[in-house]
Chain A
């Protein structure tokens, strides 16, 4: 009975993934209603909040790219919030404040290390703008990004809008190539059915725009979020998106609002990043299950379905990997998954080359290695994430790095 239920969930997760990608492709090219009607004339005031922790010069480059924005300079500001970095991030922020005088840059520092979510909340007290855009401090932003984001808010029910995250280093190795494909497919296919019902489950924290009034409503929850008394410092983007949906607002990802991030290039970095994301996914699943009746009665069925089944897929994938390893250990290395991945790689490589030349992957065959990564990811990361829910890590910078940076500074 229990085994049958697990297989049923596994089947549903797989089915919903396939349906989402297929439906994404159909909606993308044939259903205009899947896209928000953008109104570029709508130009609200915007605060770009840039929480930062040990990003070094990257924060300067991020502010520099924001200073080149095409959005009317008098209508937006940058609020850089340092979370007690132990490197020279704060100095770079101040430097940017001095260098980019075409925009208003406010620099502030938390009293104690508080995590990204609370840094955003702390920065909010400097803002009075109608739209708040939270960004990652290691990203580079397209000049059109803010304009594209705000244009989507012309639909009154839209509460939060995200941008597309592109990969700055697609050809640094097989690991970055794989991530390029995954990022591209996620934004251009996987999120499209969610866009259709304005119920995107997770807007990336790299570029996350939200209505001020909505942020103020959920800010206490975000600030007070904890796991049995331990403050949660990760996955604020997914949590905030989720709360926006529960508040009855629509969420949307505008693929024309672009930002670029440097994805992990080593297995260690990738493992840590994926672990963080998996923790965030699992927390979100527990949150969804805990408040399931509210979800069922308030949200679009599509939203409930992907909010439940997508994270549940991560859990059942672990069982799937275990079943596979104990039943047929060599199946994952067989020709069938490899052929499937290579076919997907060919299609995605062609699409990326055609529609996003900057991210062109020179060696599309690298996606074949995803078969091995899938196994590692589902076999190790999920149990590890389940066993490290008490983690207080800020996310992008580890304690070791923090210590080493602190040591070098001293």
Chain B
């Protein structure tokens, strides 16, 4: 005895109605038409797929249009490096100018110091000549002064006896007090004069010593001379260092300028600076032979047929780029080209063809 489930299935399975038979026939006929169409579609799809695969495996003139966005990682990185390089260039240029200014100041200062040197030498020479001339005279006068002082000292020794006789004369009433005071003042004046004379003698001896030997003043002058020379030497060193630094910075500036010039020739710079109206395409190395400046660019329907010329190759960039194969999705090495497109919508095509139409139509 069949259960409820089987009965239900039986009900579906057994339906001996004429209408049902006709309906089945219709369904089967429609199904067969649909199936034949589907299978042909599958067959065409498979053949087309195989053909596309074979085509892209053998074709050597295709390129993949690339839209470089200023906001993509590579462009952002490039922009950042560009800004940094420009900033470095400006900093180094400014530093170089500062150094150059500093060098000119140091050169002037050095020249003025160098000009002092002969004047100082001349002054020293003049003093030496003068000392040689006046030194012996002073020495002679010093000796004479000493001799005079010796004599005066002998006279002063007698003053004490005169003082005693004045006092005796005053006591004896031979002279008045006024006369005695006048005589004492005179004696004191004589003693003071002697003392002054002794002082002058010592000073003269000093002068003689200075004129005839190397004294501290001479040493001071020599010290000043040494300082002057040292300052000049230091300036020479500073100048040398500054000049060296200027040379290095000049080289660095040259390098940065070259790097910036090279960067300005890259697609990323053009993309960043040129906006969206600059069109690029990736060309794998295998297709390099099809690329030349001025070569026509073709865009095709279904990526390979009914092609039309849409522009020309404007520039070829030498830097290596990596991209994904538009069909095989494998990594590829190649380079970018800039295209001059009359039909900007072709920049959005999966592939374009360079130099020739891929299937000659």
Contact = CB atoms under 8 A, between A and B. Distances in A.
B323 to A, nearest CB: 15
A390 B10 contact: no
Interface string B6-40: 10111011100000010011011001101110110
Nearest to B3: A247
B3 A217 contact: yes
Contact of A329 (B13, B14, B53): B53
A218 interface: yes
Interface stretch (B270-278, B285-293, B324-332): B324-332
A160 B192 CA distance: 158
B212 to A, nearest CB: 105
Contacts of A229: 21, 24-25, 28
A226 interface: yes
Contacts of A386: 35, 38
Nearest to B1: A217
A226 B13 contact: yes
B9 A221 contact: yes
B2 A387 contact: no
B5 interface: yes
A150 B54 CA distance: 57
Secondary structure of the A contact surface, majority rule = helix
A26 interface: no
Contact of A294 (B5, B27, B32, B46): B5
Interface residues of B, number: 31
Nearest to A222: B13
A224 B10 contact: yes
Contacts of B21: 229
Most chain B CB within a 10 A radius of its CB, from A217, A220, A228: A228
Nearest to B26: A228
A133 B13 CA distance: 25
B39 A384 contact: yes
A204 B34 CA distance: 32
A220 B32 contact: no
Contacts of A224: 10, 13-14
Contacts of A228: 24, 27-28, 31
A243 interface: yes
B351 to A, nearest CB: 15
Contacts of B13: 220-221, 224-226
Given A224-B10, A390-B32, A329 B328 contact: yes
Nearest to B2: A217
Given A218-B6, A224-B13, A291-B9, A390 B328 contact: no
B226 interface: no
Interface of B: 1-3, 5-6, 8-10, 12-14, 21, 24-25, 27-28, 31-32, 34-36, 38-39, 42, 46, 49, 53, 327-330
